Structure 1
Amino acid sequence: MKKAKKTVQPGAPALEKGLDLLEALAAESRGLNQKQLAERVGRSVGEIFRMLVALEQRGYVTRDLATGEYTLTLKLFRIASQFPPTERLLQAALPIMEQLAARVRLSCHLTVLHGEQFLVIARIEPEWLMGWSVKVGAVFPLTQQYASAKVLAAFQLEARRNELADVIAAHDHVSLKKAVAALDRVSAEGGNFSNDDGYTRILAYSCPIIEASGRAVAALTVPLVREDKIATAEAASIAGELRSAARTVSEKIGGTVRP
């Protein structure tokens, strides 16, 4: 009896090498030189040299001539932003975000899920001298420390919501039951408007941007200034403006958010 032939999946070594380098650079807040990159991806300097040259020529990475360190450019982010659903979301959200920032005199930003993390895809600054904001393209872990993370996880369809609750529970070293309860509170409130849970790292209000399926495609978030306790009336005003802005963006992309 003849043995069945083992199916061999075709590989793409050059592509894998390039992706390894991009992922290694994405995981670092600072640049890496060739030797450091080679160590990160488990290859020799000679193996990655040509790939780095190609990535630099195509504009995906840039090299500091003084230090020899490589860093990612924003090309990958620009490519992702050109993806039709993201472009449509930004077209709908940016004008509303500008109005929101002007009304509350605080910055606001838009985030989306990025695997088991979340990514900042847009930011609007107010015409105000002080405040707190995040960089476009910044990636953060899914944890209860961030209002955006809780909102993005809470307003998902059941299977995905359960997956993200597992991620949050593991990251925060809490029981799954406790993580789910935190998401339930957020969904019950229509967003994150409570910052006394013992986990929140950055004081912020956040609302979901809901598409037609009922899931959150993004979170619209207003970071607050922690130094001074915000008056109840001001907090209520900011929350109201944020809810209204999120509802408007959701309606523009064919979804709805409850009042």
Structure 2
Amino acid sequence: MTSEETSSDAAGGKGGRVRTSERAGAYAVPALSKAAEILELLASEPAGLSATDIAARLGRSMGEIYRLVVALERLDFLTKDALLDRYALSLKLFELAHRHPPTKRLIRAAIPILERLAVEAEQSCHLGVLHGDQLVILAQADSPQPMRYSVKIGATFPALETSSGIVILAHSDERVQEQFLSSLLPEARGPMAERFARALEVGHERHASAVVTGVTNLSRPVFDHAGTPLAAITIPHLRQVPVHTEIERALEMVIAAADALSAGLGWTGAAEPNPHTL
């Protein structure tokens, strides 16, 4: 304009969470293990939690948790909403992960695909990933047209205000969807759930931008070898007289580009439905 967590009721801890300290064995460092538990918990809570809620969810006392939460905030791993008294993950972990080979691999594989898409569709395009409740732009390519609309690398947007976020969430676990839906006003949850369902049914989204009037977002998720949605490729389509590529053709190109990137990551999913038949 992500990540899934597996828990086991047999593993102990509140909510079936497998504690990091329980996995670490004899070489566990208690404070570090508890800090990791906090980060792992908040990774699945895009709206954040209070210190009291964190302690309760982890089955630990406030005395064990509070100083660690304050330290993590001081080190910029957490942000605090002073009004709601809630803590959430900052972008620091994302910034660190950005240096990690899998993220570099994703960007490296995406760049030539995005550059080709921008030229062929005559539109700017970008690759976005979820980070908490935000959509973060990892890579982009500019339209060859002298007048264009593009999104800056590193820019963040509320995920539910972007088609990239919608298509990623539509193909994500229902628990993840519910967490995002619960952050909305009650009257907005039904329409958003329907939008998820539609994007899942057709495999992509064509939707008017919630941010820029006159722009239509064309989005398709990118999958890894296991079929998990890692990212999304989006064209923020800007209709111009000099552009010869129709929006329907541009949508086909987005689908093909996203699927090419997915295939490069090992995805072997079913072919995308023809957008003209939906």
Q: Could you state the TM-score of these two structures normalised by the residue count of structure 1?
A: 0.65
Instruction: Report the CA distance shift for 1:249/1:191 in structure 2 as closer, same or farther (over 3 A).
Output: same
Q: Which residue of 2 aligns with 1:81?
A: 98
Alignment of 1:87-102 (within 5 A): 87-102=104-119
CA contact (8 A) 2:76 2:92 kept: no
Question: Which residue among 156, 179, 185 is the counterpart of 1:139?
Answer: 156
Hey, what's the Cα distance between the residues in 2 that align with 1:153 and 1:133? Answer: 23
Amino acid aligned to 1:85: P
Task: Give every structure 1 segment of 4 or more consecutive aligned residues whose post-TM-superposition deviation is greater than 4 Å.
Answer: 12-15, 74-78, 198-202
Tell me how far 1:190 sits from its aligned partner: 1.1
SS at match of 1:88: helix
Instruction: Report the CA distance shift for 1:157/1:256 in structure 2 as closer, same or farther (over 3 A).
Output: farther
Segments of 5+ residues of structure 2 without an aligned counterpart are 1-60, 84-90, 273-278
Matched, 1:240 2:252: yes
Q: Which residue of 2 aligns with 1:159?
A: 175
Question: Which residue among 116, 122, 126 is the counterpart of 1:105?
Answer: 122
Q: Which residue of 2 aligns with 1:60?
A: none
Larger radius of gyration: 1
Q: Which residue of 1 aligns with 2:217?
A: 204
Instruction: Report the CA distance shift for 1:252/1:238 in structure 2 as closer, same or farther (over 3 A).
Output: same
Hey, what's the Cα distance between the residues in 2 that align with 1:112 and 1:15? Answer: 24
Matched, 1:183 2:183: no
The sequence identity of aligned pairs, in percent, is 30
Hey, what's the Cα distance between the residues in 1 that align with 2:236 and 2:62? Answer: 52
Segments of 5+ residues of structure 1 without an aligned counterpart are 1-5, 28-38, 41-73
Amino acid aligned to 2:142: E
Q: Which residue of 1 aligns with 2:140?
A: 123
Amino acid aligned to 2:263: E
Tell me how far 1:175 sits from its aligned partner: 3.8
Instruction: Report the CA distance shift for 1:239/1:174 in structure 2 as closer, same or farther (over 3 A).
Output: same
Q: Which residue of 1 aligns with 2:22?
A: none
Hey, what's the Cα distance between the residues in 2 that align with 1:102 and 1:227? Answer: 15
Matched positions, count: 201
SS at match of 1:19: coil
Q: Could you state the TM-score of these two structures normalised by the residue count of structure 2?
A: 0.61
CA contact (8 A) 1:131 1:224 kept: no
Instruction: Report the CA distance shift for 1:23/1:162 in structure 2 as closer, same or farther (over 3 A).
Output: closer
What root-mean-square deviation, in Å, do the aligned CA atoms of Structure 1 and Structure 2 show? 3.4
Tell me how far 1:200 sits from its aligned partner: 7.2
Hey, what's the Cα distance between the residues in 2 that align with 1:193 and 1:248? Answer: 19
Deviations 1:14-39 (A, max 9, x none): 6532428x858xx9xxxxxxxxxxx9
Tell me how far 1:155 sits from its aligned partner: 1.3
